[in-house]
Chain A
Amino acid sequence: MNASKETGARMKKKSKTVVKDKWRKGLEISVLSVPALIMFLGFVVFPIVMAAYYGFFKWKGFGSPTTNGTFIGIQNYITIFSDAEFRSAVLHNFIIVIGSLVLQAPIAILFALLLNQKMKGRAIIRTLIFVPYVVSEVIVGTGWSLMLQSEGAINAVLKRIGLQGADWISDPKIAMWTLLILITWKYIGFAVILMLAGMQSIPEELYEAARVDGAGFWQLQKSITLPLLGPTLRIWAFLSIIGSLQLFDLVYIIWGQYISSTAGTSTMATYMVREGRVSSNYGYGSAVAVVIFVISLVVALTYQKFILNRDLDGALTEKPSKSKNKSVSAVAEEV
């Protein structure tokens, strides 16, 4: 009797602490997540909903769309998709997506391999490669646009050494290449750091074992580094794709408000700003924003579903998650 009473009380006490714990946990989660949720709803979801709403109006941005604009249904979307300038902007975006992947991945891996070796001046080279990534887009854009002008420094240097310069920025045949090379130069540091972190999370024992078996340097990289770098590569590619789809600042700074489509480097975002804000067609611009959002979302989800999926699955269980955590902390240390 006594004993049972005691256990009952103990059980009650225990369940009380469990409830209390649960409640505390709930409170903790909500306190910690509410600010983030508010930010997300207020600065991501709400603007998207508003853009979708404005997108149904012909509206110049003065007053409210209902009184100073006209409701035109999906006419804006019809205009967007029948506009050849928008289609070419989308095409440019996808050229940039593919161009960035193809140009940056091999270079980044090679740099990372090099910097992963113990050698003199490694820290300096690492810093130098990372510098362009840290410098603001506006500074990079202004600097390069001055140097690349027809009468700029690059052409002057080329002339000195007896080479024919070119219209790096304004010639439609060259401009896209100029942009791709600038993007590579600007963002390669980020890719290298990621790859380095990924490489450092590969256990040294694997290399030792392979070396004992008589594998040479390149074979080591081919059979161990590259396969184990997979998750890092995939997440980098994802970030690069998203970045390329949203590309705006570099193009806007170098080619200005108007001439990016003339030079063949316009992107969806520069199109949106020119046709929306610069032309004060706020209704039309909002509709373009919605289209960009949908295109980016579809690309991102497709990538997650078919490519990133295998890393994400593992991330919730064991091994890959460890290596991922490690790589993240390695990045933090590196930086």
Chain B
Amino acid sequence: MRFKVIAAAAISVATLMSVAACGGSNTASDGKVELEFWHNATTGDGKAYWENLAAAFEKKHQNVTIKIQAIQNEDYQGKLQTALQDPNSAPDVYMSLGGQKTKDMIEAGQTIDITSDISADAKKNMASTLGAATFDDKVYGMPVSMEPGGIWYSEDLFKKAGITEPPKTMEELNQAVTKLKAANITPVALGGKDAWPAAHWYYWLSFRECSAKDFSEASSGKGLKADCWNKAADQLEAFNKTNPFNNGYLTTSAQQGAGSSAGLLANHKAAMELMGAWEPGVLKDLSPDGKAMSDLGYFPFPSVDGGQGDPNALMGSVTYYSVSPSAPKKEAMEFLNYMAETKNQEGYAKAWNTFPANDAARGVVTDPALKTVLEYVKKSPDMQLWLDTQLGSNAGTALNTSVVNMLAGKGAAKDIVTAANDAIAKG
């Protein structure tokens, strides 16, 4: 009995304290400024990188304290969206969501135009990536990394199956799949449980199938009208009929553990996977010895016969950080410009094993597969944003779901386009 009373008292005190801790944040009264900074690196090198960067910045700017909140990636969007509803709870500097969602934030006045506050160095060095954070000629974020997508493969397994050249066309990819199967190797790993890895196959096929004009028409909110969207769905259906994916891909997640699609590739249980440039880092964490995969190769998504899209063009994402209107702008911008400095961008690239957004910092990329990607990045015109990010989560979710449905045999190819257009009615 007494124990219960004590426990109850303890719980209520704890509740009160946590409620009290929710109170508003930040700024100035005696020249001291607190910057609340939100990012999504909850583990390992990435988390340490931000902690060190914040500490170094605080040393240079004695009046600024940076309060870091690291939020797990899947929770990040919901938490940010809620926090931004109230200036008191909004973080000052935060990882933006990109694409349509950034547009929505601009419209709601939750992110500010930083065009004139970007340092000259950053403007020069970020030339290739600032475009992703630019809307109506105004810049709304400072890029930190870029993640172009493509197919990551095991060179050893390709060799074993007798594939000498990475496939350049869908036809060659089909031949590679046949060869791998003949050698008793699972050709393609697919994390169908998370849906977006499956949908990426559709995004890439439509990116090769559709012209740039069709893409910009779709992203202006007019829906998927052109015929090429259906053609891409047919292509995917045909590819799926060759059974290229790992057994049980519908219940395979993308990145969790050795049984995930990335885990299959890292452990040489499957020969390739379609992913973004975060793949080498993910594979490293999932490999049996915790080391980078030594035989990892990369080739861009193959071209399709008669496609309208540029076969050299790449699709991917740019991660950038934005400032909320309630933030102390001067200090927030100093922090963003500090992030963009070449030395710090080099640190970023090393911590994440990925591409820095800063062109001058690319020298630190040593991973051979990433170096291959760099070659293709140079050849590619402006990088296209992932289709689901571009269209917003509304149409994006519908596409993700309907692609999985089609692969599972629960819907026809043409349902993909219908589902996306229906979803636009709900938003």
Residues of A within 8 A of B (CB): 58, 60-64, 67-68, 76, 79, 145-146, 148-152, 167, 169-170, 172, 255-259, 261-263, 274-275, 277-281, 284
Given A62-B81, A62-B84 in contact, is the A281-B427 Cβ separation under 8 Å?
yes
- In angstroms, Cα B404 to Cα A263, docked, is 10
CB pair B247–A151 under 8 Å, yes or no, is yes
- In angstroms, Cα B394 to Cα A60, docked, is 9
Kindly list chain B residues whose C-beta atoms are within 8 Å of the C-beta of A151.
247-248, 259
Kindly list chain B residues whose C-beta atoms are within 8 Å of the C-beta of A170.
248, 250-251, 408
- In angstroms, Cα B397 to Cα A145, docked, is 23
Q: Mark B396-409, 1 if CB is under 8 A from A, else 0.
A: 11101100110010
CB pair B247–A279 under 8 Å, yes or no, is no
CB pair B397–A274 under 8 Å, yes or no, is yes
Q: List 29 A-B contacts (CB under 8 A).
A: A62-B81, A62-B108, A63-B85, A63-B107, A63-B109, A67-B108, A146-B259, A149-B251, A149-B252, A149-B259, A151-B247, A169-B250, A256-B193, A256-B194, A256-B195, A258-B193, A258-B404, A259-B192, A259-B408, A262-B250, A263-B250, A278-B393, A279-B397, A279-B427, A280-B101, A280-B394, A281-B426, A281-B427, A284-B427
CB pair B410–A262 under 8 Å, yes or no, is yes
Closest approach, in angstroms, between the C-beta of B250 and any C-beta of chain A?
4
CB pair A256–B253 under 8 Å, yes or no, is yes
Kindly list chain A residues whose C-beta atoms are within 8 Å of the C-beta of B85.
63
CB pair B194–A258 under 8 Å, yes or no, is yes
Other A-B pairs beyond A258-B193, A280-B393, A284-B426, 10, CB < 8 Å: A62-B105, A67-B108, A145-B251, A152-B259, A172-B410, A259-B192, A259-B250, A262-B401, A280-B427, A281-B427
CB pair B404–A259 under 8 Å, yes or no, is yes
Mark out the residues of chain B between 205 and 256 whose CB falls within 8 Å of any chain A CB in the assembled complex: 247-248, 250-253
CB pair A68–B108 under 8 Å, yes or no, is yes
Interface presence of B53 (CB below 8 A): no
Kindly list chain A residues whose C-beta atoms are within 8 Å of the C-beta of B404.
258-259, 262
CB pair B401–A274 under 8 Å, yes or no, is yes
Mark out the residues of chain B between 256 and 283 whose CB falls within 8 Å of any chain A CB in the assembled complex: 257, 259
Closest approach, in angstroms, between the C-beta of A182 and any C-beta of chain B?
14
CB pair A278–B397 under 8 Å, yes or no, is yes
Interface presence of B110 (CB below 8 A): yes
CB pair A60–B250 under 8 Å, yes or no, is no
CB pair A167–B195 under 8 Å, yes or no, is no
Interface presence of B182 (CB below 8 A): no
Closest approach, in angstroms, between the C-beta of B75 and any C-beta of chain A?
11
Kindly list chain B residues whose C-beta atoms are within 8 Å of the C-beta of A255.
193
| Contact residue among B78, B248, B396, B408 (Cβ-Cβ distance under 8 Å from A262) | B408
Kindly list chain A residues whose C-beta atoms are within 8 Å of the C-beta of B309.
none
CB pair B107–A275 under 8 Å, yes or no, is no
Interface presence of B58 (CB below 8 A): no
Kindly list chain B residues whose C-beta atoms are within 8 Å of the C-beta of A279.
393-394, 396-398, 423, 426-427
Mark out the residues of chain B between 25 and 78 whose CB falls within 8 Å of any chain A CB in the assembled complex: 77-78
Mark out the residues of chain B between 79 and 112 whose CB falls within 8 Å of any chain A CB in the assembled complex: 81, 84-85, 101, 104-105, 107-110
- In angstroms, Cα B361 to Cα A103, docked, is 62
Kindly list chain A residues whose C-beta atoms are within 8 Å of the C-beta of B107.
62-63, 68
Closest approach, in angstroms, between the C-beta of A281 and any C-beta of chain B?
5
- In angstroms, Cα B426 to Cα A64, docked, is 18
| Contact residue among A67, A169, A258 (Cβ-Cβ distance under 8 Å from B401) | A258
| Contact residue among A68, A79, A167, A263 (Cβ-Cβ distance under 8 Å from B248) | A167
- In angstroms, Cα B110 to Cα A151, docked, is 46
Interface presence of B22 (CB below 8 A): no
For chain B, which range describes its interface: under 10, 10 to 19, 20 to 34, or 35 or more residues?
Answer: 35 or more
Q: What 10 A-B pairs have minimum CB-CB distances, sorted nearest first? A: A150-B248, A63-B108, A258-B195, A170-B250, A62-B108, A279-B397, A62-B104, A256-B193, A280-B393, A169-B251
Interface presence of B1 (CB below 8 A): no
Kindly list chain A residues whose C-beta atoms are within 8 Å of the C-beta of B78.
277
CB pair B110–A62 under 8 Å, yes or no, is yes
Closest approach, in angstroms, between the C-beta of A142 and any C-beta of chain B?
9
- In angstroms, Cα B301 to Cα A41, docked, is 55
| Contact residue among B104, B248, B401 (Cβ-Cβ distance under 8 Å from A60) | B104
- In angstroms, Cα B408 to Cα A223, docked, is 51
- In angstroms, Cα B427 to Cα A255, docked, is 24
B248 closest partner in A (C-beta): A150
Closest approach, in angstroms, between the C-beta of B206 and any C-beta of chain A?
19
CB pair A280–B392 under 8 Å, yes or no, is yes
B257 closest partner in A (C-beta): A146
- In angstroms, Cα B85 to Cα A61, docked, is 8
Closest approach, in angstroms, between the C-beta of A165 and any C-beta of chain B?
10
Q: Mark B274-299, 1 if CB is under 8 A from A, else 0.
A: 00000000000000000000000000
Closest approach, in angstroms, between the C-beta of A242 and any C-beta of chain B?
25
For A58, A79, A275, the residue with the greatest tally of chain B CB atoms inside 10 Å of its CB is A275
B102 closest partner in A (C-beta): A62
Kindly list chain A residues whose C-beta atoms are within 8 Å of the C-beta of B423.
279
Kindly list chain A residues whose C-beta atoms are within 8 Å of the C-beta of B252.
149
Interface presence of B20 (CB below 8 A): no
Given A63-B109, A280-B394, A281-B394 in contact, is the A258-B400 Cβ separation under 8 Å?
yes
- In angstroms, Cα B410 to Cα A263, docked, is 9
- In angstroms, Cα B404 to Cα A61, docked, is 26
Interface presence of B17 (CB below 8 A): no
Kindly list chain A residues whose C-beta atoms are within 8 Å of the C-beta of B410.
172, 262
Interface presence of B425 (CB below 8 A): yes
A285 closest partner in B (C-beta): B426
Closest approach, in angstroms, between the C-beta of B192 and any C-beta of chain A?
7
| Contact residue among B101, B109, B194, B250 (Cβ-Cβ distance under 8 Å from A257) | B194
- In angstroms, Cα B404 to Cα A255, docked, is 12
B246 closest partner in A (C-beta): A151
Kindly list chain B residues whose C-beta atoms are within 8 Å of the C-beta of A76.
426
Closest approach, in angstroms, between the C-beta of A99 and any C-beta of chain B?
22
| Contact residue among A79, A149, A167 (Cβ-Cβ distance under 8 Å from B425) | A79
A274 closest partner in B (C-beta): B397
Closest approach, in angstroms, between the C-beta of B106 and any C-beta of chain A?
9
A263 closest partner in B (C-beta): B250
Kindly list chain A residues whose C-beta atoms are within 8 Å of the C-beta of B108.
62-64, 67-68
- In angstroms, Cα B424 to Cα A79, docked, is 12
Q: Mark B192-208, 1 if CB is under 8 A from A, else 0.
A: 11110000000000000
Kindly list chain A residues whose C-beta atoms are within 8 Å of the C-beta of B253.
256
Kindly list chain A residues whose C-beta atoms are within 8 Å of the C-beta of B104.
60, 62, 68, 280
